[in-house]
Chains A and B, each alone.
Chain A
């Protein structure tokens, strides 16, 4: 009988010892350092379905700053310090909000604003507002030409408009424009043009290119009602010291199929426009920053390419260093407005 007892005890001892075997991890564990995640700055703002969003460098965290999808918003601009966002409301009046979405100011003195952007201004950022073919400033005034667009328009124009503007750190003013002028000095017919210009601060000469769109009768002289092409956007392109311009080919701003990108080369002896190659069809906007990357958008997607990933961020799967935000399909809508401020 004792042997039975002893056998039981031996088995007991064996099981006890065998259960002390150490487990060898296959993958390991993350440990506690994951409580200190990578800090990524929010350097991209965009408008989607009339709401404002602020996202981080790799588009992984999206912060919605507004909740008014029935109130039209366009032309977003993120300040250089990433602390303010300006956009145009339904009246095309600039509204300035902070990064929590709280309203800082509404510039009711301006309506029908065509474009706006933040200029770094050597550390004293100012919001540049293009309204009624003139530049206004919310913040310090930039030392630029008082009438920077005048040279681009012939003296006999019967209609003129500046649609988009950008000013680089050298205070060169880049802008897009349209005008109409009589077919002949006495004709009631009108020739229509859309163009792009560069008012260079460092020289006493300026540049512009105007493309004639055709000759039309005065009865259809309301330019904005016609399916005429025009450049709706211009951005200084640091990467090649030229400009990126956005073209709406048929004047229909709500149809993204009409959008395309082009380049305007104006530095040195050149003064020409050319096709822009983008990674996204029908992009509304295309930023290319030297040593930074690029951002493009259409109604379906924002796509960002980073030349160098933020410290600590591993390469994404798939296309190298490309991050995207996918939206639900929006048929016949304008491409997504955004502003990238790396």
Chain B
């Protein structure tokens, strides 16, 4: 990844050096800046990482808490023309997932049923371009802008709680290691999304910027396998199999829900 960043940065410098600018891009000549931000929205779909809110573990009930979806990011921008900047960002969020699975019972020729609470740690690499508003008005990186890009999300599920309904109706639902078969489903998920943000960035102090915007991200995986309409045959699937575990299905739903809509705010620093 480090080499990739170098490559992108150097490539942009080279591209930019071949152009003749009527005016030096960047605010006060500053082309490179970093930002720290977050995206927030009302949480209506899945529990938080603390198992608060809707569809909480273990019984899919609402805990009664008001909860927000939150995601945090660190981004670096380079102004490569009067109206455009390129952006590389890292986003991180933890969400909760209350899902189910079945495993062979060690004591009956039947299945143990599991309620599972995962914390989904989503690491998101966001590559995008920011396009600033009117041709005769804004000057990157200030003013109204569109942020269009791709998200590469690596989701790692960490099991935090496990309620087991044993095949022989044992009263204690705790998952004793010697009484349950290991869970076998894959807990890593990769997702590729297309994202768009419309926002406004301004200067609030010397070299300090503030931005606010609304953003959305759509994941084709959700449309193919996890939409409420059911599984659509996936043209990208080599095997043609539409089999997907409850965990994978709900992880995709969870991430799509988290990324569907957000209000973004952030502060930045113009460096050089």
Contact = CB atoms under 8 A, between A and B. Distances in A.
B177 interface: yes
B177 A316 contact: no
Interface size class of B (residues with CB under 8 A): 35 or more
B181 A37 contact: yes
B68 interface: yes
A23 B50 contact: yes
B109 A23 contact: no
Contacts of B238: none
A26 interface: yes
Interface string B132-150: 0000000000000000000
Interface stretch (A8-16, A154-162, A257-265): A8-16
Nearest to B265: A8
B106 A37 contact: yes
Given A34-B181, A38-B178, A314-B170, A61 B49 contact: no
Interface string A18-33: 0101110111111111
Nearest to B103: A34
Contact of A27 (B119, B175, B267): B175
B105 A60 contact: yes
Nearest to B169: A317
B204 interface: yes
Interface stretch (B8-16, B77-85, B154-162, B247-255): B154-162
A62 interface: yes
A21 B70 CA distance: 13
A35 interface: yes
B214 to A, nearest CB: 14
B171 interface: yes
B178 A15 contact: no
B107 A313 contact: yes
A104 B105 CA distance: 32
B168 A317 contact: yes
Nearest to B115: A27
B49 A9 contact: no
Contacts of B177: 30-34
Contact of B72 (A9, A16, A37, A61): A16
Contacts of B224: none
A253 to B, nearest CB: 29
Contact of B119 (A23, A28, A34, A60): A23
B30 interface: no
A328 B240 CA distance: 38
Contact of A28 (B40, B70, B162, B171): B162
Nearest to B40: A15
B107 A9 contact: no
Given A5-B210, A27-B162, A34 B171 contact: no
B207 interface: no
A25 B161 contact: yes
Interface in A275-317: 312-314, 316-317
A23 B49 contact: yes
A22 B170 CA distance: 30
B267 A9 contact: yes
A135 interface: no
A294 B245 CA distance: 42
B162 A23 contact: no
Counting from the closest, the 4 A-B pairs by CB-CB distance are A33-B177, A30-B175, A25-B161, A34-B182
16 contacts: A1-B204, A5-B204, A8-B265, A19-B48, A23-B50, A23-B96, A27-B161, A27-B162, A27-B164, A29-B161, A32-B182, A33-B178, A58-B107, A314-B107, A317-B166, A318-B168
